[in-house]
Amino acid sequence: MEQQELEPWRDIAARKKAEQLDRIPEAWRLPDSTDLDKSNILQIPRQSGSLSDIELQITEEYDASELVDELANGNLTSEAVATAFCKRAAIAQQLTNCLTEILFDDAIARAKELDAHFDRTGKPFGPLHGLPISLKDTFQIKGYDASLGVAALCFKPSTTNSALVEHLLSMGAILYCKTNIPQTMMALDSHNNIFGRVRNPAHKDLTPGGSSGGEGALICLHGSPLGIGTDVGGSIRVPALCNGLYGIKPSHGRVPYAGQQGGLPAGSSKLGIEVTAGPIAHSIRDCEMLLRVVGENQPWLFDPDVIPQAWDQQSSVHNQLTSPRRKHQHPLRIGIVRTDGHVTPLPPVQRMLDEVAKVLRLQPSTHLTSIEVVELDLSSLLNKCIKTSNGLFSIDGTNTWFDLLEAQSEPLSPWLKDRIRRREPKTAAEITKLQGQKLDLQTRSLDIWRESGGFWVADPSSSTTLSSRKQSIDREIDVFICPAAPHPIPPTDRWNDVNYTAAFNLLDLPAGIIPVRSVSAEDLACEIGSSEPLNGWDKINRGLWGEEERKLYKGSVLSVQVVAPKLQERRLVEAMAVIDEALKRGKRKGAKGSKL
């Protein structure tokens, strides 16, 4: 009792966990005999006996796009779909600790209202009629906490909805749960003192990622057909990578973000790096569907920062494949970026990227498109992003977070203990200087896409030099591919360098994740060269290639990141679809020289 009086957060945490359990029906709770200590728990929902055959079919055999069609056609009822995903989310919570707020009763009540609307009118309520969507805890939903896993924010229900919540509800979506995050959201793992640690469903010793880690674990277990996370340094892409999923971080101004609970004073993001919201799903087409539907339904009416540009007004890869200057098609041109110049990727990441480039180069031309691969060296640009990003991540010296934690005597999470502390807030002059650096880097990034920009690496097999090409036509690339991390999915609390994702937040470029293949025995047999580490971060990264760490990686997923020009989300998802299909085709055909 004395310890609880000294640390009041413990009592608050106990009350929140009890509230969670109370919102899970007794019939949906797993038996005590469930083996929760398995390394891989992906099959437990199916084996538990808690889900009926139709509930298994709804949650496993349909993706979000198919569910939208089936609901709109009346082949599935909103109540059946909502109940299936509520039940499966309850199971996922018991297995991975992936949820914060549970809205099951409200969700099923809304589903019944949507079914009544459909029965009365014969039409769906909107383009997302009856689709269950999970949300990261930062989104505010009236009547529910947005506590961010911090005791001082618990039991203070939101009085308004976030802008995207209003937009999703207006389109007929069903919001049924919010998902777990790391304390302060400054970690790429997911642990806090209130809700505890999120577990990776496929590899219990590896991280599920963060800060949208609960979303990643929930979707991985098919407890959600489509989730929405937020990203200011990798927080959508890292959980997608860690759970073998697809995820997209849009540019700022594409998806409504206003009205979030971010743990900082309103308007703080205007002085730092803008956070964006985006989808995590099992397929590219589901990510595309969410972005398209949001874009087609006037999202700028919900958030003044959203650019009033409909989805079909964005440039399309398929339209651009026919050059206005030539009568024949030009290929989908894809750049390959192998390193950020700060931390060298470990052997599995290097090998996987080599294989991706090779498979893309071997793809046969079709009536739709052909693929051309070019090498890019962005190390001089990406290396400069690190210091500016770090400066803009902590403009208030993390004092707001420390104030919140200290209000209820909360300790820092293990990964944060030696990484953050109170500092003096940055002055207006310091912030202005950092914003100037950000603008300079964003301006320099415009040169990535043009052959004349200085980032393209000459192809030694070509007889045409870059300089001679410049005199004829300045070629452009559509997207580029790079690692999302310099290491495989690391052990819990061991994520190293964030620059492979955070640089594109600073540059405000849309970026997405495509899962490629698993770590193989051949990968694990590779050794790092004898060269000296580039710096301290590179040395830490090499430490993730020790004998014990390698044992954990086998079978875990390797993914690539695809990046497009600013505010070109349509181009991004279309290119990702082409790349994803090419990689799958290469895997099916066993392309020569490919391990995919």
Quote the pLDDT of residue 348: 98
Q: Where a domain ends, among 311, 328, 354?
A: 311
Residue with tokens 């995590």: 280
Q: Does residue 411 sit within a domain?
A: no
Distance between CA atoms of 419 and 170, rounded to whole angstroms? 41
Residue 490 and residue 466 in one domain: yes
Residue 397, marked binder: no
* d(C-alpha 480, C-alpha 497), whole Å: 20
**How would you write the pLDDT of the chain (596 residues) with one tens digit per residue?**
455 566 899 999 999 999 999 999 999 999 988 998 999 999 999 999 999 999 999 999 999 999 999 999 999 999 999 999 999 999 999 999 999 999 999 999 999 999 999 999 999 999 999 999 999 999 999 999 999 999 999 999 999 999 999 999 999 999 999 999 999 999 999 999 999 999 999 999 999 999 999 999 999 999 999 999 999 999 999 999 999 999 999 999 999 999 999 888 878 889 999 999 999 999 999 999 999 999 999 999 999 999 999 999 998 987 655 444 434 467 899 999 999 999 999 999 999 999 999 999 998 766 456 899 999 999 999 999 999 999 999 899 999 999 999 999 999 999 999 899 999 999 999 999 999 999 999 999 999 999 999 999 986 554 444 554 545 578 999 999 999 999 999 999 999 889 999 999 999 999 999 999 999 999 999 999 889 999 999 999 999 999 999 999 999 999 999 999 999 999 999 999 999 999 999 887 764 444 57
In-domain check, residue 71: yes
Q: Please indicate whether residue 315 is annotated as part of the active site.
A: no
Q: In this structure, are 362 and 213 located in the same domain?
A: no
| Whether residue 330 sits in one domain with residue 285 | no
Whether residue 363 is found in the same domain as residue 260: no
Q: Provide DSSP, 105-168.
A: HHHHHHHHHHHHHHHHHSS-SSTTTT-EEEEETTS--TTS---TT-GGGTT---SS--HHHHHH
How many domains does one find in the chain? Answer: 2
Does 193 reside within a domain?
Answer: yes
Phi and psi at 389, nearest 5°, equal -60, -50
Same domain, 306 and 325: no
Directed axis angle between helix 64-72 and helix 284-296, to 10°?
A: 50
232 annotated to bind ligand:
yes
Same domain, 300 and 373: no
Structure tokens at 220: 């991985």
Tokens 């390698």 sit at which residue?
Answer: 550
Burial 270-291 (b: 16+ CB within 10 A, else e): ebbbebbbbbbbbbbbbbbbbb
Residues 54 and 207: their CA atoms lie apart, in Å, by 32
Strand partners, 178: 135
66 falls within a domain = yes
Instruction: Mark whether 276 and 245 lie in a shared domain.
Output: yes
Is residue 115 within 8 A of residue 46, CB to CB? The reply is no
Is 529 marked within a binding site? no
Q: Are residues 337 and 273 part of one domain?
A: no
DSSP conformational letter for 204:
T
211 is in an annotated binding site: yes
What pLDDT is attached to residue 420?
A: 93
| Distance, CA of 389 to CA of 392 (rounded, Å) | 5
- The SS3 of residue 31 is coil
Active-site residue, 409 included:
no
Tell me, what CATH number does 287's domain have? 3.90.1300.10
- Please name the amino acid found at residue 306: V
What would the two tokens of residue 253 be? 């101004």
Same domain, 359 and 241: no
486 in Cβ contact with 356 (< 8 Å): no
**Has 233 been labeled as part of a binding site?**
yes
Domain assignment present for residue 328? The answer is yes
Three-state SS letters, 513-552: EEEEEECCHHHHCCCCCCCCCCCHHHHHHHHCCCHHHHHH
Q: What is the pLDDT of residue 464?
A: 46
CA distance 114 to 36: 36
Which uninterrupted H or E stretch holds 356?
A: helix 347-362
Strands 132-136 and 227-231: parallel
Could you say which of 65, 235, 269, 556 is catalytic? Answer: 235
The answer as to whether 420 is a domain residue is: no
The residue from 136, 249, 384, 595 that is catalytic is: 136
- Assess if residue 79 is contained within a domain: yes
Phi and psi angles of residue 525, each rounded to the nearest 5 degrees, phi first: -80, -10
How high is the pLDDT of residue 285? 98
Are 305 and 357 contained in the same domain?
Answer: no
Which position among 65, 211, 269, 556 bears the catalytic label?
A: 211
Instruction: Please tell me the distance from the alpha carbon of residue 489 to that of residue 395, in angstroms, as a whole number.
Output: 30
Q: Are residues 487 and 345 located together in one domain of the fold?
A: yes
Residue 61 covered by a domain: yes
Identify the domain boundary among 278, 311, 344.
Answer: 311
**Domain end among 258, 293, 311:** 311
Which residue(s) pair with 560 in the sheet? 514
136 among known catalytic residues: yes
Q: Does residue 300 share a domain with residue 330?
A: no
Residue 560 assigned as binding residue: no
Q: Which domain holds residue 234?
A: 2-32+39-311
* Beta bridge mates, 231: 276
Cis peptide before 211 (omega within 30 of 0): yes
